[in-house]
Amino acid sequence: MPPSMMRLASAAAILALSSSVQAASKYILEKTYDYNNFFYNFGYAHSPDPSHGFVDYIHPPDSNKFAYVTQNLTIRLGVDSENKYSTTSGGRKSVRMESGDTFTHGLFVANFSHLPAPACGAWPAFWMYGPDWPNNGEIDIYESWNNATYNQVTIHTSGGSKCTLADDPSKFTGKVLSYNCDNTIDNPPTQYPGTGCSIEEATGSAAATSPFANPNGGIYAVEWTEDHIKVWSWTHDSSGLPTDIGSGNPDPSRWGLPRSALSSTLTSAATVPATTLARALPP
């Protein structure tokens, strides 16, 4: 199995609040990314890795082995898992895909048919970021690295944001790992610059319900409004998977507690500007 590989089934759906039903938190489908249009809407980043990973981001035609539509009509994004690389080389070949569209608020649903197992050197991620990264915010929906055994949902805000996460089990089910969303905070040993406020997606018996590293993938959903950012996740066979998740009018107010929640009632307010979807897959 490649050390860091994701497959997207129906890819991502972007939904916007209907003005006529906004009070009920219902959405209407605005855009879908799937095998028909993914590679027309997502571009290849091939600049040096901003996180200084051992990776060489490539683009077509060299990337065609690592980013393509499969025979099952899923979208495969992966890395070179066949060759060995010297530490003096430019890094392992990989792809980093970024959407050309930007969004401010909405419901974002991603359906993965495969998520990679932990492995030394792996760094799979599905995330959103503001302009002039990292100065204008970041939402890490799915992120793990090396042999870590869990997903970290993390919010990064710009310096001086005064956004601090409250540990309130009545609002979300995950475990708080770090509290201050300010990306510049240096407060060892609990928090260092670049940490942000982070929640472990699922712990204890709940870990079995997380799609993390599931070879059959799962679904991640993010609701981003003026008031909050919430993240849910389910395996495809989960009894808790909402019946309306694949409809054109899902209602997250009926989905139960999210894995992670950042809101004006749980923090001091912070603003995340227009955001670009990104799938970054270093080796």
pLDDT digits (tens, 9 = 90+) for 106-165: 999 999 999 999 998 899 999 999 888 888 889 999 999 999 999 999 999 987 777 888
**pLDDT confidence band for 47 (50 / 70 / 90):** confident
Is residue 56 domain-resident? no
Nearest to 232 by CA among 265, 264, 254, 205: 254
Q: How many angstroms separate the CA atoms of 209 and 215, rounded?
A: 13
Q: Tell me which residue range forms the domain holding 163.
A: 29-36+100-280
Q: How many angstroms separate the CA atoms of 169 and 58, rounded?
A: 42
Is residue 64 domain-resident? no
> What is the pLDDT, as a whole number, of residue 11?
60
Least confident segment among 7-16, 61-70, 184-193, 217-226: 7-16
Q: What is the CATH number of the domain that holds 232?
A: 2.60.120.200
**pLDDT confidence band for 23 (50 / 70 / 90):** very low
pLDDT, tens digit, for every residue of 235-260? 999 999 999 998 888 999 999 999 99
Which residues make Cβ contacts (< 8 Å) with residue 186, sequence separation at least 6? 192, 193
Distance of CA 202 to the CA centre of its chain: 15
| DSSP classification of residue 20 | T
CB burial of 229-248 (b: ≥16 within 10 Å; e: otherwise) equals: bbbbbbbeeeeebbeebeee
Q: What is the mean pLDDT of residues 1-29?
A: 59
Is residue 16 domain-resident? no
pLDDT, tens digit, for every residue of 60-84? 999 999 999 999 999 999 999 899 9
Is residue 242 domain-resident? yes
Is residue 231 domain-resident? yes
Is residue 116 domain-resident? yes
Is residue 18 domain-resident? no
Tell me: pLDDT of 96 over 70.
yes
Tell me: pLDDT of 22 over 80.
no
Tell me: pLDDT of 33 over 60.
yes
Between CA 159 and CA 167, with CA 163 as vertex, the angle to 5 degrees is: 140
Is residue 42 domain-resident? no
Q: What is the set of active-site residues?
A: 138, 143
Tell me: pLDDT of 91 over 80.
yes
> What is the pLDDT, as a whole number, of residue 275?
60
Higher-confidence residue of 270 and 174: namely 174
Q: In the chain, how many domains are there?
A: 1
